[in-house]
């Protein structure tokens, strides 16, 4: 997987951690310190951050070999190598920075999806911040013991640990979305500088990553078992994340009579018997990404499909052993009856891609079951029919349903409003350049709705 380094799993104080062996076969101390700093983070966070940092070290060693040719890199060369990392990840050999081009020519795997670059840069920023904290401590010790000159007096990147004044637009945005910022006297004034660029701007939302709404039932029906049908129906009906669905407890979270499903943070019921039945290493795999509400809104026809499949699953496949209450289980082999959240993500992804291709759905590379969450978000925000005749739920409600901490993560699903915005711009252009009588906004909306209806009718007429 890596050219110069080798990533090894190990146990540290009863938790999974990592070692990174360098070209000489010895552990890289800086990486070890980083891995140990993550000891209280969730298992999936430790895993992903360590893998991302291992990839960076592989890049750094390759860059040093190409630039330094065996000698130690200067501070300027090291800084340029760091700043070129984003280009290397995103553009590969098409990058504008020579260092990124050179490394990409000799170090696979090549270009990353923009959405994959964001967490990789976040892991690197965390490592650089940790390194700067260590440098400050060492510099202070060197000053106390009169060992100046041994430790660098300045940070590698000037922005590390620095703060900059907030611009007026940023202050207003923080006050609008943060309760704390809204009550600070005079408003927030400073923010910590972001090194290596703001990764969020690199990953625009791609609407093609949403699974086609009218193909979801085909996906569910083509699944080979009732368990898999129920699992993917739940993802589509609730828009929940994969790990949230896999951790649902049968008797605690599902009310068949009411037709409801709760999504509950394992930490809020850590003493539950289902969790006590797990080994310490298995409990580490319980994940949660910050959802603050257990509320779900199950949309049709996927909700009915879930409860229908659930009945078949409980009658024909589910093993009622009483050892734990996890809904989804292994169905065969030595693991039969064990919680299915312990299964390898790659195995589940392989099944999803096989069925997806079988029903003739093409998705962008790197897209998996999370595409059902994108479908849900797009649907409930834009097309969900409401009692007052409008379509689409309010953004704050959708934010709660999706469990987004940041409302901007929800706004990316606002699809139809973008179309209306384009129409308004076109109308303004007609006023400015054609001197014509502009149409009213409601007329434009009516045109847009008619166009959308014609498009849907055309698609329906083409279906067998």
- DSSP-assigned states of every residue in 412-424: TT--HHHHHHHHH
**Claim to verify: residue 348 and residue 284 sit in the same structural domain:** yes
| CATH code for the domain in which residue 330 is found | 1.10.443.10
**Cα angle at 344 between 338 and 349, to 5 degrees?**
120
Tell me whether residue 198 is in a domain. Answer: yes
Question: Could you tell me the pLDDT band of residue 198, with boundaries at 50, 70 and 90?
Answer: very low
> How many Cβ atoms from other residues are within 10 Å of residue 188's Cβ?
15
Any idea which of 229-233, 283-287, 309-313 has the lowest mean pLDDT?
Answer: 283-287
User: Which residue has tokens 């999370």?
Assistant: 370
> How many Cβ atoms from other residues are within 10 Å of residue 423's Cβ?
18
410 has a pLDDT exceeding 70: yes
Tell me whether residue 237 is in a domain. Answer: yes
Which residues, 6+ apart, have CB-to-CB distance to 68 below 8 Å? 77
Residue 326: strand pairing partners:
249
* Tally of domains in the chain: 4
At 392, list the tokens: 């689409």
Dmax over CA atoms of the chain, in Å, equals 83
> What whole-number distance in Å separates Cα of residue 409 and Cα of residue 397?
13
Residue 15: strand pairing partners:
12
pLDDT of residue 432: 47
**Claim to verify: residue 286 and residue 398 sit in the same structural domain:** yes
| Mean pLDDT within 69-83 | 80
Tell me whether residue 302 is in a domain. Answer: yes
> Domain limits at 229?
208-411
Of 87 and 216, more confident = 216
Of 454 and 141, more confident = 454
**Claim to verify: residue 171 and residue 291 sit in the same structural domain:** no
**Claim to verify: residue 140 and residue 281 sit in the same structural domain:** no
168 has a pLDDT exceeding 60: no
**Claim to verify: residue 442 and residue 315 sit in the same structural domain:** no
Q: Over the Cα atoms of the chain, what is R_g?
A: 26
Tell me whether residue 153 is in a domain. Answer: no
Pure H helices in 299-440: 302-316, 345-358, 370-382, 395-402, 407-411, 416-434
Question: Could you tell me the pLDDT band of residue 199, with boundaries at 50, 70 and 90?
Answer: very low
Any idea which of 52-66, 162-176, 249-263, 430-444 has the lowest mean pLDDT?
Answer: 162-176
- Tabulate helix, strand, coil % of the chain (nearest 5): 55, 5, 40
Choose one of 153, 180, 202: the last residue of a domain: 202
Distances (CA, A) of 127 to 50, 57, 133: 10, 11, 10
At 335, list the tokens: 């693991």
pLDDT for 211-251, tens place per residue?
Answer: 999 899 999 999 999 999 999 999 999 999 999 999 999 99
Tell me whether residue 334 is in a domain. Answer: yes
**Claim to verify: residue 118 and residue 177 sit in the same structural domain:** no
pLDDT for 348-390, tens place per residue?
Answer: 999 999 999 999 999 887 789 999 999 999 888 888 888 877 7
At 46, list the tokens: 């430790």
Q: Give CA 456 to chain center in angstroms.
A: 31
> What whole-number distance in Å separates Cα of residue 418 and Cα of residue 429?
17
25 has a pLDDT exceeding 90: yes
Cis before residue 451, ω within 30 degrees of 0? no
Question: Could you tell me the pLDDT band of residue 131, with boundaries at 50, 70 and 90?
Answer: confident
**Claim to verify: residue 319 and residue 442 sit in the same structural domain:** no
> What whole-number distance in Å separates Cα of residue 244 and Cα of residue 239?
10
Please, are residues 102 and 87 in contact by the beta-carbon 8 Å criterion?
Answer: no
**Claim to verify: residue 215 and residue 279 sit in the same structural domain:** yes
> What whole-number distance in Å separates Cα of residue 264 and Cα of residue 241?
12
Q: Whole-model pTM?
A: 0.66
**Claim to verify: residue 215 and residue 363 sit in the same structural domain:** yes
Residues in the chain: 464
User: Which residue has tokens 């024909």?
Assistant: 316
- Specify the DSSP element, H or E, that contains 92: none
Q: Give CA 10 to chain center in angstroms.
A: 26
448 has a pLDDT exceeding 70: no
Tell me whether residue 156 is in a domain. Answer: no
pLDDT for 419-429, tens place per residue?
Answer: 555 555 565 55
Average pLDDT, the chain: 80
Which residues, 6+ apart, have CB-to-CB distance to 251 below 8 Å? 325
| Mean pLDDT within 188-214 | 60
Tell me whether residue 41 is in a domain. Answer: yes
**Claim to verify: residue 190 and residue 268 sit in the same structural domain:** no
**Claim to verify: residue 20 and residue 58 sit in the same structural domain:** yes
pLDDT of residue 43: 82
**Claim to verify: residue 327 and residue 426 sit in the same structural domain:** no
User: Which residue has tokens 């990404």?
Assistant: 289
User: Which residue has tokens 């898999």?
Assistant: 228
Tell me whether residue 299 is in a domain. Answer: yes
- Specify the DSSP element, H or E, that contains 51: helix 43-67
């Amino acid at each position: 997987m890596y050219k110069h380094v080798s990533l090894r799993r190990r146990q540290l104080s009863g938790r999974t951690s990592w070692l990174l062996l360098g070209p000489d076969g010895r552990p890289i101390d800086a990486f070890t310190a980083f891995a140990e700093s993550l000891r209280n983070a969730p298992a999936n966070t430790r895993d992903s951050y360590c893998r991302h940092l291992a990839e960076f070290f592989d890049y750094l060693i390759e860059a040093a070999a190409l630039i330094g040719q065996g000698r130690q890199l200067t501070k300027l060369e090291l800084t340029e190598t760091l700043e070129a990392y984003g280009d290397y990840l995103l553009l590969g050999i098409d990058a504008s920075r020579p260092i990124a081009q050179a490394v990409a020519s000799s170090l696979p795997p090549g270009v990353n999806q923009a959405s994959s670059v964001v967490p990789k840069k976040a892991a690197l920023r965390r490592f650089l911040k940790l390194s700067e904290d260590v440098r400050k401590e060492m510099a202070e010790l060197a000053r106390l013991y009169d060992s100046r000159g041994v430790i660098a007096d300045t940070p590698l990147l000037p922005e590390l640990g620095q703060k900059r004044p907030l611009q007026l637009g940023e202050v207003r945005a923080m006050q609008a979305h943060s309760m704390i910022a809204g009550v600070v006297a005079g408003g927030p004034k400073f923010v910590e500088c972001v090194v290596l660029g703001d990764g969020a701007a690199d990953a625009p939302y791609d609407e093609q990553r949403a699974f086609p709404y009218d193909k979801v039932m085909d996906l569910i029906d083509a699944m080979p078992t009732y368990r898999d049908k129920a699992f993917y129906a739940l993802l589509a009906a609730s828009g929940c994340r994969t790990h949230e669905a896999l951790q649902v407890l049968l008797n605690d979270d599902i009310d068949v009579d009411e037709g409801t499903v709760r999504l509950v943070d394992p930490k809020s019921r850590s003493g539950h018997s289902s969790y006590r039945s797990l080994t310490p290493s298995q409990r580490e795999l319980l994940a949660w990404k910050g959802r603050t509400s257990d509320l779900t809104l199950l949309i049709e026809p996927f909700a009915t499909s879930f409860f229908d499949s659930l009945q078949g699953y409980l009658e024909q496949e589910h093993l009622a052993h009483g050892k734990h209450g996890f809904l989804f289980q292994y169905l065969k082999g030595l693991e039969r009856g064990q919680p299915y959240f312990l299964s390898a993500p790659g195995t589940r992804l392989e099944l999803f891609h096989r069925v997806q291709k079988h029903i003739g759905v093409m998705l962008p590379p790197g897209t998996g079951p999370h595409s059902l969450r994108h479908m849900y978000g797009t649907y409930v925000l834009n097309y969900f029919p409401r009692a007052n005749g409008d379509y689409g739920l309010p953004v704050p409600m959708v934010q709660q349903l999706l469990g987004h901490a940041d409302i901007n993560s929800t706004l990316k699903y606002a699809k139809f409003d973008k179309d209306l915005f384009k129409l308004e711009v076109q109308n303004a252009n007609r006023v400015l350049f054609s001197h014509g009588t502009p149409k009213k906004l409601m007329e434009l909306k009516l045109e847009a709705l008619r166009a959308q209806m014609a498009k849907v009718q055309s698609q329906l007429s083409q279906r067998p």
